[in-house]
Amino acid sequence: MTSQQHTSSRRRSFEVSVGAVGAVAMAIALSGCSSGPDYQGTCMDRLTQKRVTDHHCSSGGAGGGNYAWWYTPRGKNVPAVGQKVDLSKGNGSFTAPKSGSVVRGGFSAKGGSVGG
């Protein structure tokens, strides 16, 4: 094998590798993978059923007094601070999920959709 043939062979191999990496990246992007959590914990006042600022709940997961983490699943809406939390079935729970990614706190005070 000449030096020119060897260089050409290496270049072709590299181009295929870069192309394969690009294809994998494109497949991941198109699969709808989201960087958001499966569940978002926001602090809630159990008496008023309104969302409150996160500092009312402890970082350990259980709030003090009337405050507790409310876990909203991906695709559901979290209300803005001061608005009522939708307690209907499927919109969340006070029980921490046993599987999936969970984030407590840090969600926009304006509310929004979990994972989107």
Question: What are the structure tokens assigned to 10, written together?
Answer: 């290496």
Answer yes or no: pTM beyond 0.85: no
The residue among 116, 43, 55, 113 whose CA lies nearest residue 82 is: 43
> CA 45, CA 56: separation in Å to the nearest integer?
9
Q: Read off the pLDDT of residues 14-63 as tens digits, 9 standing for 90 and up.
A: 454 444 444 433 333 334 455 789 999 999 999 999 999 999 996 544 55
Per-residue pLDDT at 73 exceeds 60: yes
Q: 103 - beta bridge partners?
A: 40
> CA 65, CA 50: separation in Å to the nearest integer?
14
